[in-house]
Structure 1
Amino acid sequence: MSIEIVPEWMVNLEKEDIIFMKKFILSSGSLKEVAKQYDVTYPTVRLDKLIQKIKLNEDNTNDSYIALIKRLVINEKIDFDTAKILISEYKNNKKES
């Protein structure tokens, strides 16, 4: 019997993110090779969104507001920089209360 443990930073990643990471690893980290597999140009293959999703998932919090902001970013409803500002302001306001 095997128990699957998913790291916290992977919990909210979409299936396509996991597939991309697998292709990236299997191509020895070559974005040019991944671009060939997706039949797109090299500059089109970007890790920015995946990196942002991973960074958001690393911040373990039980706060429902922060979790909501993270979900909005992951679902591309707001951008990463806006989320950082909202979370920072929220945390500052909580400290002042």
Structure 2
Amino acid sequence: MQTEIVPEWMANLDDQDIAFIKKFILSSGSLKEIAKVYGVTYPTVRLRLDKLIQKIQISEETANEPYISLIKRLAVDEKIDFDTAKILINEYKKTKKEES
């Protein structure tokens, strides 16, 4: 039996993100179909896809900096605002430079 290895970018997604990706694939990438499945408008689905793309990009860009990745994901998920995220990331980077 082969051991499953989950890519880092996938490991950072929540269950809702994975479900969205599955539905996206099963609908052959049709955002209109996904909008019907979820009972929402096309722009709502587009926004959801854009946030998912941001999460994946953040994961790829910050693979060596889990703290920065966490802060960016919190901002994308609207758990914290972007100004707060910038402050936290800048302070973290200052601390890292001082340690060097």
Same fold (TM over 0.5): yes
Is the contact between residue 24 and residue 30 of structure 2 (CA under 8 Å) also seen in structure 1?
A: yes
- The alignment's TM-score, normalised by the length of structure 2, stands at 0.71
Deviation at residue 19 of structure 1 after TM alignment? 0.7
CA contact (8 A) 1:12 1:74 kept: no
**1:6 alignment partner in structure 2:** 6
Taking only aligned residues, the RMSD between alpha carbons, in angstroms, comes to: 2.7
**Secondary structure of residue in 1 paired with 2:6:** coil
Show the counterpart of 1:33: 33
Partner of 1:21: 21
Of Structure 1 and Structure 2, the greater helix share is in 2
Equivalenced residue count is: 94
Runs of 4+ in 1 over 4 A off after TM superposition: 79-82
Say which structure, 1 or 2, has more relative contact order (CA 8 Å, 6+ apart): 1
Residues 1:56 and 2:53 aligned together:
no
Percent identity over the alignment is 71
Offset of residue 73 of structure 1: 3.3
TM-score for both structures, normalised by structure 1? 0.73
Report how far residue 87 of structure 1 moved: 3.2
CA gap 1:79/1:61 in 2 versus in 1, 3 angstroms? farther
* Range moving further from structure 2, 51-60 or 15-24: 51-60
Identify unmatched segments of 5+ residues in structure 1. none
